[in-house]
Amino acid sequence: MSILTNKCIVLGVSGSIAAYKSPDIVRRLQDLGAEVRVILTQGGAKFITELSLQATSKNKVQNNLWDKEAELSMGHIELAKWADALLIAPASANTIANLAAGKACDLLSSVILASDCPTLIAPAMNQQMYTSNSVQDNLATLVQRGIQIIDPENGVQACGDIGEGRLAESDEIAKQVGLMFQSTKMSGKKVLITLGATIEAIDPVRYLSNHSSGKMGMALADACIEAGAQVTLILGDVSTSISKPSKQIFVTSAEQMYRSVMENINDQTIFIACAAVSDYSVKNPKNHKIKKSDKTLTIELVPTKDILKDVCQLPQKPICIGFAAETQNLLENANNKLKNKGCDAIILNDVSCTDLGFKSDENEVVFIDQKSSIKLAKNSKQKLGRKIIEIISEKFL
Ligand code: C5P
């Protein structure tokens, strides 16, 4: 996994001669694993074509706040929500002034206003303009608001002047974006995560299982790895690509998952039970395929062991986080689960919505602990994963 794997970056390209370097910035961000969407301002379009940026980013370039078609697919609010980080490179004196004044006069400034994600800007302009009081004051305002400045370089400029104002190198810009995601919040911590669906054999051909894809668990694993944790994954049946954890163990049945968790739970700081574990297994699975007949077939089911509940009862229990996939009486059921299982928090998701939850790339959850409940609005599982890990770190570590 590279530092920007699964990260969505909106790159704003504004009116500076250095805009000709922007396709290279796109490529360097992609080298680090990012997906990039470009917003090209009117000024930027004087120096670089939409086509070059579309070809490198492999996404339609957005340039118009008032474009009905663009609004239908991904308007300024959707773009702002999609982004994990916003980068403006090159950032012209005019764009910097717009941001400092809080304007929403074009698509780029509107997206910046509509977003709460980290923002970096790489100024590029003539050295005299760059050192002017107005630009420096505007930059100071942006720094105060938490925007990170990627300093321009000193040297010969396109206009022939020598001084500070040359756009930082593309590699350096991409590196600074990557560094923003590096965190040590969980370094030295060990996290055990169960994910995916368990499979309970009926006979050698048929089985009982559920719709879990493992995507939410994998997003949580990615967020933990990103935060520096040592992650052990215990995977049931998953239909998602698997990142590189410290250790991974594949299991099939609830019983195997139970044993695997118990064998690996020692020394774990956090246990996240994200797997959709079967509550029942077949009492006597058949060794041979059950033959079809006209008679009613009864399969006797027996309850499985509750992994989460048993981990919560260990004398030296880790911080335990469970999931509640519910279709009715959501909050009531989730709160009961929090109490009955004795875990530190429950993450509730409504699996009655067909466009969210199981198999979907998006989710909407409520993080519930003894003291509070925090609603995390609909977003990609990757983003929710990061948010959940942030909350766990703040509340329990
Ligand atoms: O009781 P219920 O299955 O609805 O609880 C869901 C939570 O409990 C999830 O976090 C799930 O991973 C965990 N669980 C478990 N062992 C089971 C059943 C559920 O760890 N046998």
- The mean pLDDT value for 92-98 works out to 98
Ligand 1, atom 2, lies closest to the CA of 324
C-alpha 389/C-alpha 56 separation (Å) is: 33
Non-local (6+) Cβ contacts of 59 within 8 A are 35, 36, 37, 38
Structure tokens at 125: 């302009």
pLDDT band at 16 (very low <50, low <70, confident <90, very high): very high
Structure-token match 């105060």, residue found = 144
* Predicted confidence (pLDDT) at residue 367 exceeds the cutoff of 80: yes
- Rounded to the nearest whole angstrom, what is the distance from the C-alpha of residue 324 to the centroid of ligand 1? 8
Mean pLDDT of the chain: 94
* Predicted confidence (pLDDT) at residue 356 exceeds the cutoff of 80: no
Question: Between the ranges 96-110, 179-193, 239-253, where is the mean pLDDT highest?
Answer: 96-110
Q: Which of 76, 291, 307, 80 is nearest to 195 (CA)?
A: 307
Provide the pLDDT for residue 22.
Answer: 98
- The mean pLDDT value for 365-388 works out to 93
* Predicted confidence (pLDDT) at residue 357 exceeds the cutoff of 70: no
Ligand 1, atom 19, lies closest to the CA of 277
Query: Among residues 8, 117, 159, 343, which one is catalytic?
Result: 159
Provide the pLDDT for residue 67.
Answer: 77
* pLDDT tens per residue across span 233-267: 999 999 998 887 789 999 999 999 999 999 999 99
% of the chain exceeding 90 in pLDDT = 83
C-alpha 371/C-alpha 108 separation (Å) is: 40
Q: Which atom of ligand 1 is nearest to the CA of 323?
A: 10
Residue pair 289/209 in contact by the 8 Å Cβ criterion: no
Structure tokens at 12: 């704003």
The three-point CA angle 250-208-381 to 5° equals 55
* pLDDT tens per residue across span 124-146: 999 999 999 999 999 999 999 99
Catalytic annotation present for 159: yes
pLDDT band at 299 (very low <50, low <70, confident <90, very high): very high
**Domain 190-396 is in which class?**
alpha beta
Residue extents of the structural domains in the chain? 8-179, 190-396
- Rounded to the nearest whole angstrom, what is the distance from the C-alpha of residue 122 to the centroid of ligand 1? 47
Distances (CA, A) of 78 to 232, 240, 283: 34, 24, 49
* pLDDT tens per residue across span 36-57: 999 999 999 999 999 999 999 9
* pLDDT tens per residue across span 316-333: 999 999 999 999 999 999
CA–chain centroid gap for 358, Å, is 17
- Rounded to the nearest whole angstrom, what is the distance from the C-alpha of residue 336 to the centroid of ligand 1? 13
pLDDT band at 78 (very low <50, low <70, confident <90, very high): confident
Q: Which atom of ligand 1 is nearest to the CA of 194?
A: 12
Ligand 1, atom 9, lies closest to the CA of 323
pLDDT band at 72 (very low <50, low <70, confident <90, very high): low
Provide the pLDDT for residue 380.
Answer: 87
What is 8-179's CATH number, 3.40.640.10, 3.30.110.30, 3.40.50.2000, 3.40.50.1950?
3.40.50.1950
Provide the pLDDT for residue 242.
Answer: 86
* pLDDT tens per residue across span 144-165: 999 999 999 999 888 899 999 9
* Predicted confidence (pLDDT) at residue 167 exceeds the cutoff of 90: yes
- Rounded to the nearest whole angstrom, what is the distance from the C-alpha of residue 300 to the centroid of ligand 1? 21
Q: Which atom of ligand 1 is nearest to the CA of 326?
A: 4
* Predicted confidence (pLDDT) at residue 175 exceeds the cutoff of 70: yes
- Rounded to the nearest whole angstrom, what is the distance from the C-alpha of residue 5 to the centroid of ligand 1? 30
Ligand 1 site residues, Cβ closer than 6 angstroms: 194, 254, 273, 275, 277, 279, 304, 306-308, 322-324, 337
pLDDT band at 379 (very low <50, low <70, confident <90, very high): confident
Is 190-396 the same fold as 8-179? yes
- The mean pLDDT value for 368-378 works out to 93
pLDDT band at 2 (very low <50, low <70, confident <90, very high): confident
Provide the pLDDT for residue 71.
Answer: 65
